[in-house]
């Protein structure tokens, strides 16, 4: 059956899969715990593969387990002698990424009375943690290993959805930062839009970010005080990528950055006052949203979708092939959650915004061979990316002749959680307030430098691990939040951060030589305000130090904090070639009619190394350009 979407008044959400996957429609700030109680399934199963046998027997009661997804969570399971009757999740998972899994998975497990149900697309870490927590609780309730194995075979069987064909003025593939910027811009131009997203919510990688967005409001008091300018931002971006970025694209990014911030504000997004230097950002020009991580962007985009006609969100649907007719890209063929075919066609243009390939290990290893920059990018190296970032759009575009550029340019950060690779648990607030030390208690790199230089420095350290070390100036009370909405007190309680009243005590907790750590901090402090080397560059080339009246002399005010970090794949700078109009270029140097691209799926903007804070700028600037271009395109 064909379901044609032609009216500009429609804003229906198509739930292609269990409605339970979309039960969480509101965003919850990560700084506040959200307990999800699901004692009844959201949707009754069509069929259960098999009922539990005599191997399933529990000791009635309520049991709890602490596990880690993107953040630490507590799974509490209540059982009778033969059934799982309730599952509660007390969590701080990111709204729009891990948070939906905390609602839908308990419902599915209870409905199936089994553990063979599917995890939530795009929320692998959270899904795995929930499954682990439930297993732990059931073992506490007396379930044998054989019983666990039995439950792993029991799943929900869903009725296959009918094939569908959707039509709108503009089709956007990907509901991350770039895709939603494009969708909103196209809708503001009076166009109907269909957005295809393989996860269960909008968000992509943007929602997992620290939220920092680089932009210079040239002529403002802040820019003048920081001696910053659009030209300075351009030079640092271009030179920071070793001159490999296309100068036209770099100018397009930088010249339109501040108007992107003003556009977000016009949609209702709020930013904190002032600017800061994000890791690898090279200068204090990053704007911090009021909401933690990247949730503010999607609260803003979701609010727009809810209050305007004409944007249809299609979730749990994976784009497979671009549709080309008479040399023009007119749509995309997709696979729905139940294996059904979904075709989305555009009367105007198509926007590709599917992200990079940070989670595709095969692609990472293959393209790392081009530059051989990193010792390895195999499965031993984690990633900050959401599980759905697997290069789908790059593969689809290449299949129709799109030119791929700079695919060997892959960025790692030295800031990954040692267990998950995520940026959560990072105790820093800004570059100026912390140092990096290795397992011997010594600094080893310019912590205010380029991301690739910091990470290569980390690869050379013992066990490829380091500690971030800072004092209490950023956390004077202990209940303050980091850039990811986590309180320092919770991180310490969970063992993800260390706290001590003296540097010697901190060194003991870190298991590093106390004399080394103390000497390292004393040497660093000499370059900060009030130190005898104030204003000078230290031996590692660092020029960014704490130097305000409120925060002075570097790291000297206890209690002191530390947190272990490892290398993690963060951003893939290579991808589909575009021009300044966000039009995709083919291998012959010609524009592919009807196809536009924005965000991490594209290449040629950031060169060998992306400045911290420029990725979110990229999503907004080129997302808006792509949305406008697709709206204006005519066949």
Task: Quote the CA–CA distance of 218 and 215 in Å, as a whole number.
Answer: 9
Phi–psi pair at 607, nearest 5 degrees: 70, -145
Q: What dihedral angle (degrees, nearest 10) is formed by the CA atoms of 565, 570, 573, 576?
A: 170
DSSP string, 462-519: GGG-EEEEE-TTS-SSS--B-TTS-BHHHHHHTTSSEEESSHHHHHHHHTS-HHHHHH
Dig out the tokens for 608 from the structure. Answer: 């060998």
List strand residue ranges (DSSP E) for 308-355, in order: 311-315, 317-325, 328-336, 341-346, 350-352
Question: Cα–Cα–Cα angle for 216, 218, 222, nearest 5°?
Answer: 75
451 is catalytic: yes
Q: Is-contact 75 89, C-beta < 8 A?
A: yes
- Measured from the Cβ of residue 498, the count of other Cβ atoms closer than 10 Å reads 22
DSSP string covering 423-463? STT---SSGGG-EEE-TTS---S-TTS-HHHHHHHHHTSGG
Q: Alpha carbon of 453 to those of 109, 313, 604, 610: distances in Å? A: 45, 40, 20, 12
Dihedral pair phi/psi, residue 606, rounded to 5°? -95, -5
Query: Nearest 5°: CA angle at 387, between 382 and 393?
Result: 115
Contact 612, 286 (CB under 8 A): yes
Residue 28 Rama label (left phi>0; alpha psi -120 to 50; beta): beta
Asked if the bond preceding 454 is cis, omega within 30° of 0, the reply is: no
| Active-site hit among 434, 451, 610, 624 | 451
The answer to whether the CB of 226 falls within 8 A of the CB of 275 is yes
H helices of 113-189, where? 124-140, 145-152, 177-188
Q: For the chain, how big is the Rg over CA atoms in Å?
A: 25
Q: Which residue from 631, 478, 457, 480 is spatially nearest to 560, judged by alpha carbons?
A: 478
Q: How far apart are CA 619 and CA 574, in angstroms?
A: 15
Strands 164-168 and 61-68: unpaired
Q: Which residue has the tokens 């105790």?
A: 427
CA distance 504 to 155: 53
Residues 6+ apart with CB under 8 A from 151: 52, 56, 113, 114, 115, 116, 138, 143
Identify the burial level of 84 via C-beta atoms within 10 angstroms of its C-beta, where 0-12 means exposed, 13-18 middle and 19 or more buried: buried
Which residues are part of the catalytic machinery? 451
């Amino acid at each position: 059956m064909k379901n044609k979407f032609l009216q500009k008044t429609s804003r229906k959400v198509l739930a292609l899969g269990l409605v339970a996957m979309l039960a969480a429609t509101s965003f919850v700030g990560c700084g506040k715990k959200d307990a999800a109680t699901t004692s009844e399934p959201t949707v009754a199963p069509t069929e259960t593969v098999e009922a539990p046998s005599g191997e399933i027997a529990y000791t009635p009661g309520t049991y709890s387990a602490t596990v880690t997804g993107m953040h630490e969570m507590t799974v509490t399971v209540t059982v009778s002698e033969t059934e799982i009757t309730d599952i509660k999740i007390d969590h701080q998972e990111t709204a729009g990424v891990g948070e939906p899994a905390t609602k839908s998975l308990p419902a599915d497990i209870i409905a199936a009375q089994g553990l063979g149900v599917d995890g939530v697309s795009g929320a692998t870490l959270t899904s795995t943690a929930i499954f682990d927590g439930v297993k732990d609780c059931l073992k506490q309730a007396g379930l044998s290993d054989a019983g666990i194995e039995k439950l792993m075979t029991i799943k929900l069987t869903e009725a296959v959805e009918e094939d569908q064909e959707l039509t709108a003025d503009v089709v956007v593939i990907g509901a991350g930062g770039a895709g939603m910027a494009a969708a909103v811009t196209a809708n503001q131009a009076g166009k109907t839009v269909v957005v295809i997203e393989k996860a269960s919510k909008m968000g992509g990688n943007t929602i997992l970010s620290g939220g920092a967005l680089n932009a210079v409001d040239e002529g403002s008091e802040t820019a003048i005080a920081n001696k910053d300018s659009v030209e300075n931002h351009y030079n640092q971006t271009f030179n920071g990528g070793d001159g490999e970025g296309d100068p036209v694209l770099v100018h397009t990014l930088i010249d339109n950055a501040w108007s992107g911030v003003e556009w977000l504000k016009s949609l209702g997004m709020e930013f904190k006052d002032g600017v800061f230097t994000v890791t690898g950002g090279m200068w204090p020009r990053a704007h911090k949203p009021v909401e933690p991580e990247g949730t503010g962007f999607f609260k803003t985009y979701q609010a727009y979708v809810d209050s305007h006609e004409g944007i249809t969100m299609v979730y749990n649907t994976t784009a497979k092939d671009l549709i080309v007719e008479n040399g023009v890209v007119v749509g995309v063929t997709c696979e729905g959650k139940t294996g059904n075919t979904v075709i989305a066609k555009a009367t105007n243009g198509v926007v590709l915004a599917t992200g990079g390939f940070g989670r595709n290990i095969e692609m990472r290893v293959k393209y790392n061979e081009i530059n051989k920059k990193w010792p390895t990018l195999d499965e031993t190296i984690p990633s900050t990316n959401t599980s759905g970032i697997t290069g789908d759009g790059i593969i689809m575009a290449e299949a129709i002749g799109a030119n791929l550029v700079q695919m060997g340019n892959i960025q790692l950060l030295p800031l990954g959680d040692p267990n998950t690779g995520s940026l959560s648990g990072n105790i820093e607030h800004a570059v100026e307030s912390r140092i990096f030390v290795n397992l011997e208690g010594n600094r080893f790199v310019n912590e205010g430098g380029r991301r690739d230089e910091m990470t290569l420095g980390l690869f050379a350290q013992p066990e490829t691990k380091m500690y971030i070390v800072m004092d209490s100036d950023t956390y004077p009370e202990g209940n303050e939040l980091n850039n990811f909405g986590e309180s320092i007190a919770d991180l310490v309680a969970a063992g993800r951060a260390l706290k001590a009243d003296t540097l010697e005590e901190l060194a003991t907790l870190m298991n590093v030589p106390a004399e080394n750590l103390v000497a390292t901090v004393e040497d660093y402090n000499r370059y900060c305000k009030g130190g005898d080397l104030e204003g000078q560059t230290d031996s590692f080339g660092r020029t960014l130090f704490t130097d305000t009246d409120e925060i002075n002399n570097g790291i000297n005010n206890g209690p002191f904090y530390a947190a272990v970090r490892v290398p993690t794949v963060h951003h893939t700078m290579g991808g589909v070639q575009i021009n300044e109009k966000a039009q995709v270029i083919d291998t012959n140097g010609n524009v592919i009619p009807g196809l536009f691209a924005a965000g991490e799926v594209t290449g040629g903007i950031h060169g060998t190394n992306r400045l911290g804070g420029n990725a979110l700028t990229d999503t907004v600037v080129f997302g808006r350009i792509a949305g406008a271009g697709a709206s204006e395109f005519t066949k």
